[in-house]
Amino acid sequence: MLEIIKEPWPWYVAGPLIGLTVPALLILGNKSFGISSSLRHICAACIPANLSFFSYDWKKETWNLIFVSGIFLGGILASQFLMNPGDISVNPHLKAELATYGITDYSHPVPVQLMSFESLLTLRGFLTMVIGGVLVGFGTRYAGGCTSGHAIMGLSSLQWPSLVATICFMAGGFLMANLILPLILSI
């Protein structure tokens, strides 16, 4: 049984399981699926400021904080007990392209040459981690939710703004991966 959990699941199994969380949350508790709002709930609970954005009854959203904590804990457990000890499988064409940017270590889920404390002190690392993180946070706030909230919850409930946001997320992802990221990696 543990071997089944350790292996990557095919899209036709994992996709429907993720998709079924939407009706399960709606049926069991009339709750919407989304992750990005949890940061607002944490700030409202921990920051005793009189900012109108954080002045609401965050205790009604405790379930969301528990949900996000479970995701975090699940990630820790999976990385400690379910990781494949070998190198990550990467398409040979992608390996060749990444090698031109100096990325050759596939022993971690994220390339160490990009995401490590040492790389944070480089221009390339600062651009990918700090500036990229700020832009993702700004975009999430500007769009009124993250990709999981819009693409999974919003589309399944036929919300027009979620369709627009998801199309923009995808277009931005394609633009970033194909035009901007190669420029940053060549620094």
List pLDDT tens digits, range 80-102: 888 777 777 888 998 899 899 88
37 lies in some domain: yes
Same structural domain, 125 and 169: yes
> Which of these three, 83, 103, 136, is where a domain ends?
83
CA 157, CA 94: separation in Å to the nearest integer? 36
15 lies in some domain: yes
Residues of the domain holding 54: 1-83
pLDDT given for residue 92 in this prediction = 92
> Which of these three, 83, 100, 128, is where a domain ends?
83
Closest among 32, 7, 15, 13 to 162, alpha carbons compared? 32
What is the residue type of 122?
A: T
Report residue 109's pLDDT band, with 50, 70 and 90 as the boundaries: confident
More confident residue, 153 or 168: 168
Cβ–Cβ < 8 Å for 79, 6: no
CA 101, CA 87: separation in Å to the nearest integer? 19
Q: How many domains does the chain have?
A: 2
* pTM of the predicted structure, to 2 decimals: 0.69
pLDDT given for residue 175 in this prediction = 94
In a 3-state reduction of DSSP, which class is residue 32?
coil
Q: State what percent of residues in the chain have pLDDT above 90.
A: 14
- pLDDT score of 171 more than 90: yes
Same structural domain, 59 and 118: no
68 lies in some domain: yes
60 lies in some domain: yes
- pLDDT score of 126 more than 80: yes
Residues making up the chain, counted from first to last = 187
pLDDT given for residue 174 in this prediction = 94
CA 128, CA 121: separation in Å to the nearest integer? 11
> Which of these three, 83, 102, 132, is where a domain ends?
83
- pLDDT score of 8 more than 80: no
**Mean predicted lDDT score pLDDT of the chain:** 85
Residue 41: partners with Cβ closer than 8 Å, 6 or more residues away: 58, 61, 64, 65
Task: Tell me what the mean pLDDT of segment 8-35 comes to.
Answer: 83
